[in-house]
Structure 1
């Protein structure tokens, strides 16, 4: 095989891999949104067992399909409050089906990456790692159910989803490294890289505080019931730090976008990526303010969690793309 034909084959394989990797990443973010919706709607225990749902692979549609003593059965398993709710059961069941689809997509991504192992072994390593991680995530999901939705377990489950996104983004960024290397970044402000690291640290701190707020909201949900309007006043001091710190994150990213705009203009892919990041940050702030000032409406919680997850992903991709544009 000649060098030109080998290059053409690599280009086709890279394009195919980038397509499936992007679809998989979008699907994982959709699963994060679905999972947040399950959590906000209180449907997390809609299926009190795993991997089946009320003992069946396809859940019942009515309580009449369950044994008369089903509550006693699940009470013996540690779920004293189990009560069949068809809406919550099917919301949780659809969440699980979405997870299965994600697993198949990541399996396909790993399979596609095998053809690129000679071109860039890190693409294959990252893709296979994502497959191993999603298998572990499936087991972790069973532990979440077994723990009766213990907040700490839910947080670990969420952080694992973000780790899977990070690994998939790493693989995608490696697959588009040649494209980025063709775009010059010589004119970028020398302070940009240092500021990018600062912004990444600020985001990690903000997400960590948001996780603590989320766990506190879960605690209030269990201790005070569905009186959402009372939750905000009961939240501890770190909620107010988290809310105020969002302004720091916003202005830090504004400066990041401004440096790219001044150096590269609007036409560069890094500038467009940074503008997309800024848009998501504004969405996160608006949804967070809505939660804080309108009594924690359940419909807004998934939007806030999704936007926070997207911020992490976009910043990580910006960092990787900048490194590849510099030939690193």
Structure 2
């Protein structure tokens, strides 16, 4: 087996592992298992093998998986820098390692020192960026890792700007969603799509937090629909940008529907499953938007 196959295998292993970390982190939050190991880190309640409580098992499993994935990513980093030929792969693996270490440090700090909900919400956002870097790294070794297809149209400055603005705005919406989780505000709006039976509810407390997140998600849908229509008019269907725009639209619609599912399942047994689905979809959407950002950078170099 040549080294390029090993690079591809470790890159995909890093991506799958980082995705698992992201989902497990959301599980820790949803089950309120963040204090399952007390104030100890990296041990769990002073033990290497923790007591078999549900909270400690969930929290310690998350730590264990993070450690294993960290080792895989480190091996991947060495392989890419020693044997890799593409500069973008080195940027992606370096970014993945940086944000993985950063999210691990923030996770440890959250255990040892109590953090505000605003700070805890940032932890998910950083994990999401780390996953996006591993996704981009894995795509390097697929057909999507090439630059814009030959049949495609170089991106205008307006489209490139739109890609970056939508991606940044999506990250803000993601942060708001994480803030809803960490403030336990999910019950602030009963019913969907209306909030407590009103188009504009009483904007106080948890209701205000959830309503802002819903409004942000609705605007994100509008922006992505507009972007898709612009791209469809100017590019061929086989173009990577068009395909990414199409999947962005599909995923944002599914994400909003899953948000409604989360609300309607509040208080039922399937609430946790709905929440995990919501996390999976937003991770996929942010990954696709990150890929669009890379295409925008490549297009700028090509025509600039």
Shorter-chain TM-score category? 0.7 to 0.9
Choose the corresponding residue for 1:112, options 60, 70, 79.
79
When normalised by structure 1's length, the TM-score is 0.72
CA distance in 2, matches of 1:299, 1:134: 25
C-alpha offsets along residues 137-196 of structure 1, whole Å, 9 cap, x if unaligned? 333222111135653442232222123234435545666687225533227677533432
Q: What's the counterpart of residue 150 of structure 2?
A: 183
CA distance in 1, matches of 2:129, 2:111: 21
Is residue 235 of structure 2 the alignment partner of residue 264 of structure 1?
Answer: yes
Choose the corresponding residue for 1:253, options 217, 224, 237.
224
Choose 1 or 2 for highest CA Rg: 1
CA distance in 2, matches of 1:21, 1:183: 26
CA contact (8 A) 2:125 2:175 kept: no
Which consecutive residues of structure 1, in runs of 5 or more, have no partner in the other structure? 1-11, 62-85, 221-227
Is residue 288 of structure 2 the alignment partner of residue 317 of structure 1?
Answer: no
Choose the corresponding residue for 2:125, options 131, 134, 159.
159
The correspondence of residues 168-207 of structure 1 with structure 2, limited to 5 A, is 168-169=134-135, 171-172=137-138, 179-186=146-153, 191-207=158-174
CA contact (8 A) 1:185 1:326 kept: no
CA distance in 2, matches of 1:116, 1:182: 26
Is residue 43 of structure 2 the alignment partner of residue 52 of structure 1?
Answer: yes
Aligned Cα root-mean-square deviation (Å): 3.2
CA distance in 2, matches of 1:259, 1:87: 49
CA distance in 1, matches of 2:274, 2:280: 10
Q: What's the counterpart of residue 3 of structure 1?
A: none
Q: CA deviation at 1:126?
A: 4.1
CA contact (8 A) 2:125 2:174 kept: no
> Which deviates the most, 25-34 or 122-131?
122-131
User: Using a 3 Å threshold, how does the CA distance of structure 1 residues 194 and 112 change in structure 2: closer, same or farther?
Assistant: same
Q: What's the counterpart of residue 298 of structure 1?
A: 272
Is residue 4 of structure 2 the alignment partner of residue 30 of structure 1?
Answer: no
Q: CA deviation at 1:205?
A: 3.4
CA distance in 1, matches of 2:129, 2:225: 26
CA distance in 2, matches of 1:314, 1:303: 17
The 3-state SS of whatever aligns with 1:267 is coil
CA contact (8 A) 2:18 2:134 kept: no
CA contact (8 A) 1:33 1:302 kept: yes
- Aligned residue pairs, count: 284
User: Using a 3 Å threshold, how does the CA distance of structure 1 residues 87 and 216 change in structure 2: closer, same or farther?
Assistant: closer
User: Using a 3 Å threshold, how does the CA distance of structure 1 residues 273 and 157 change in structure 2: closer, same or farther?
Assistant: same
Q: CA deviation at 1:267?
A: 3.0
